[in-house]
Amino acid sequence: MNSKLKELEKMLLLTVEKSAVDGLQRVKDTVQSLWPNHSFEEILNNPKFYELPITSIPLLTENQYLNSLKNKNIPEEIIDSLSLVEVNYKGFNNQTYTGQIIVHKELVDSTKQVFNRILKETDFPITSIIPLSLFNWNSSVKYNNSGGFDWRLVKGSNEITDHAFGAAIDINPLINPWINETANRPYDPNLRGTLFSGSNVVKIFREAGWKWGGDWEYSKDWQHFYRPEIPLKYYGKVEVKE
């Protein structure tokens, strides 16, 4: 194994999460900023909450963005390789919003191109695009938030996810779940905002050079688009066959 990759794995295994209490409050604050006309409890009890009109998107300043990374004990080398990118997208109410996503610096232009095409060429709705730190990192999926960088391992393994290199983007993850032999979550490709092999969004990502988790053989990660050449180039991480 590449020595740099091995060192990153060690750091990830030693990463300590913030307390659950502090994390829950951060999530509540973010959810309330998105849907201020609804209580946190109303959101939790509404199975189609992700279609509710969003009032505004919380945008991070450059300092807030950098502080959110430093608070998670992320190596400076990784932080220096990332960029905070503003993208426009269409919500479930067909209104256009501006969100932010963190990706590797080499993927900035591609990311902008992809979201610009999705907005102009499709009617595909997205709930929100917010840096995962605003959802205390691990709660973003529950609220159908689309995001990029996440300093973590692949769930249930010691493998570093492509998200930890800013080389992956998840779209509407609640309704486009990762499905494998241990995680068989509901997935209905007829719902608005879902991804499937004939989706224009999948086509746009592919044409920009991204791979898609819906093409995997042994599992299906319907939400997941990734660029495995980035972690391979910088850390020698070879793509695992899924």
Q: What pLDDT is attached to residue 19? A: 44
**Between β-strands 145-146 and 128-129, what pairing exists: parallel, antiparallel or unpaired?**
parallel
Low-confidence ranges of the chain (pLDDT < 50): 16, 18-20
Q: What pLDDT is attached to residue 240? A: 82
| Contacts of residue 139, Cβ cutoff 8 Å, sequence gap at least 6 | 23, 27
pLDDT in tens, 157-168: 778 999 999 999
Residue 242 amino acid letter:
E
CA distance 6 to 139: 27
Q: What pLDDT is attached to residue 13? A: 75
Q: What pLDDT is attached to residue 182? A: 72
Q: What pLDDT is attached to residue 15? A: 66
Q: What pLDDT is attached to residue 119? A: 98
Nearest to 235 by CA among 71, 59, 2: 2
DSSP 160: B
SS3 14: helix
Q: What pLDDT is attached to residue 1? A: 59
